[in-house]
Chains A and B, each alone.
Chain A
Amino acid sequence: MSDDAALYTQLATIRRFEETVLDAFPKGAFYGTTHTYIGQEANAAGVLAHLHDGDLVFSNHRCHGHFLAYGGDARALFAELMGKATGVCGGIGGSQHLHWKNFYSNGVLGSTAPIAVGAALAEKRKGSQAVTVLFLGDGAMGEGVVYESLNIASLWGAPVLFVVENNHIAQTTPTELAMAGSLAGRFAAFNIPAVELDSSDAREIYAAAGQEFAQLRSTPGPRALILHTARFGPHSKGDDTRDPAFIEELRATRDPLTIHGARLEESERTAIEAEVDSAIAAAYAQAEADPLPEHAAYVKAGY
């Protein structure tokens, strides 16, 4: 498979997964809540394509795309959302709290920042070559601990790539109502080199991220990649307060699948889509058939 086809497969997988989640939620397939990644797929696909074995990823509440691009299994993720024993975390974590291999996500915005920095410093001290990717959104940039963490990362030379996905809206609050100054200025204040990109093109993001990873692996200290992006879906399920016409415009102009899909022959593109559709449908069906976790054992273990 060509790089372009591989990238498209990644984008389509995330998209199809998230669409399935949003479709199935009202039917009662899932319990709780979720935060979908529709519109932002190019970020996870473009950035995480550069991971080496052993690299670490810290993600947030909107973690499905990151998890799938990391190589996570769609069936295990569906199962986690369904609260099944076969879920990524046995149904304990749910949509926002995933851990598999070196992938960790948590649902409190910004609280992962010092943990990612600490993990990166540990890898450095252990002499591993691993680097750490931390995904933050524009909303998380309101949290004070993020700035404590940028300061420490810079002071102590933590090999972290801070990836800020600015989708211009935190739940329902537009970024301009929540953020003074600029994203780039925030990193500049701590002497953390930052590259800024306003794109939904997976290839562009892949190229920019590639340079960041190369720098990160060859020079000490953290770096930042600021990705201005677009979220097509609601914050969670039905809480989008934006004008539907505006979202239509975003979908028309900033869809990573349309942009990158145009690079493929139509036959190849539709073949990938058909393959992804059937893989996601199979993953969903398997998860649906999976058993529930043993609740008696959970309480007894006390944790």
Chain B
Amino acid sequence: MTSVLESLNQGLHAAFAQDARVYLIGEDLLDPYGGAFKVSRNLSTQYPDRVWTSPVSEAAIAGVGAGMALRGLRPVVELMFGDFSTLVADQLINSITKFPAMYNGAAQVPVVIRTPMGGRRGYGPTHSQTLEKLYLGVPGLRVLAPNTLSDPGDLLRRAILEQNDPVLFVENKVLYPKQVLDNAALADFEIQASTQDFAPTHTLRLKGAPRPALTLTAYGYMAELAREALTRLAFEHEIFCELVVPTQLAPLPAGGGLQPALQASLQHSGRLLTIEEGTYSLGWGAEQLARAAQHFGGRLQAARRVAAAEAPIPAARNLEDAALPTLEDIISAAREMV
């Protein structure tokens, strides 16, 4: 078995091996350290001239990556914590994603900015956030969030080598030690895999379960909790759910439509519970629910969100547990909907 961390590391190594235009820029990248979360381990040893450990200058390294991408290279920029993405917001919003469109299609900026997000590690208010919602809806930005249902490293490799759009690649840090699931680990589930653009979406239901009464949707680490909730809801409460797990958070289908896998699931469940680690209001879940309401109108019988509290993520363990969405939150929200 391979962990998410190992898979991502392998994906980077594969991208470097496959294409000499791939570079990595970030803080504390050099071996033996290999980046704060070790996703970049052994790269600086194998590719010393293509791995550039940088000053603590997030805005500049994002901009340097953008300039390299503009001139035909395939740079990856590692931000040590997703919380620091705010320092990069100007580059991301006013340059990286602007150039292709505002230069009328005459420029491409194929840079991948990858960063860990998320809490449950006790790092406190500025090292635990799930901030990707700030960047969802920025025109021209592809936001990807891997999970354990398919190979995170392969998604990263393809984002680096095959995508001409700028990509924000969001890695929930609690996912790093989790195993990428194989068929044996998922033996209880009937799984449908589909593709949105080039990123996989998975739809899960328990084998032999009756028609689902509720659709759960979650990405990243929250998909782990949602999968566990799906099992417990079936065995403990006889509530049968389907779980839709996208890896592409943005862009969503043009014209306000739902992702096809989510639409297909809602077609027979008629109820939608969105589950995210970002804060509750104005977020990813809100957009899914809005699209569901727009598409299904009165046929959408129930709609709810499970998300983080609208407060800084506290450092104390019991407070952090209270601020972030839990398995129990998902189960109780689901029970209230069916």
Q: Among B68, B90, B94, which residue has its beta carbon within 8 angstroms of that of A118?
A: B68
With contacts A99-B106, A303-B101, A303-B140 taken as known, whether A148 is within 8 angstroms of B67 at the C-beta atoms is no
B contacts with A, residue count (CB < 8 A) = 38
Q: Does A70 interact with chain B (Cβ within 8 Å)? A: no
Bound Cα distance A71, B107 (Å): 19
How many Å from the CB of A205 to the closest CB on chain B?
A: 26
Chain A contact residues: helix, strand, loop or mixed: helix
Tell me which residues across on chain B come within 8 A of A113, comparing CB atoms: 60, 63
Chain A residues numbered 94-112 whose CB sits less than 8 Å from any CB in chain B: 97, 99-100, 104, 106-108, 111-112
Q: Among A90, A97, A145, which residue has its beta carbon within 8 angstroms of that of B63?
A: A145
A92 touches B60 (CB 8 A): no
Which of B60, B69, B72 has the most chain A CB atoms closer than 10 A to its own CB? B60
Q: Among A93, A123, A126, A148, which residue has its beta carbon within 8 angstroms of that of B103?
A: A93
Chain A residues numbered 150-200 whose CB sits less than 8 Å from any CB in chain B: 151-152, 155-156
Tell me which residues across on chain B come within 8 A of A302, comparing CB atoms: 251, 254
Bound Cα distance A149, B91 (Å): 13
With contacts A97-B103, A115-B70 taken as known, whether A151 is within 8 angstroms of B55 at the C-beta atoms is yes
With contacts A89-B103, A99-B106, A126-B71 taken as known, whether A149 is within 8 angstroms of B60 at the C-beta atoms is yes
Chain A residues numbered 111-153 whose CB sits less than 8 Å from any CB in chain B: 111-123, 125-126, 144-145, 148-149, 151-152
Chain B residues numbered 59-90 whose CB sits less than 8 Å from any CB in chain A: 59-73, 75, 90
Tell me which residues across on chain B come within 8 A of A107, comparing CB atoms: 94
Q: Among B23, B55, B75, B251, which residue has its beta carbon within 8 angstroms of that of A148?
A: B55
Bound Cα distance A151, B95 (Å): 20
With contacts A93-B104, A106-B94 taken as known, whether A151 is within 8 angstroms of B68 at the C-beta atoms is no
Bound Cα distance A93, B62 (Å): 22
Q: Among B60, B66, B75, B102, which residue has its beta carbon within 8 angstroms of that of A152?
A: B60
Tell me which residues across on chain B come within 8 A of A90, comparing CB atoms: 104
B67 touches A115 (CB 8 A): yes
Tell me which residues across on chain A come within 8 A of B23, comparing CB atoms: 125
Given contacts A93-B104, A99-B107, A145-B60, 14 further A-B contacts (CB under 8 A): A97-B102, A106-B98, A108-B94, A111-B90, A111-B95, A118-B66, A118-B75, A148-B57, A152-B55, A152-B64, A302-B254, A303-B100, A303-B139, A303-B140
Q: Which 3 A-B pairs have the closest CB atoms?
A: A118-B67, A114-B63, A148-B60
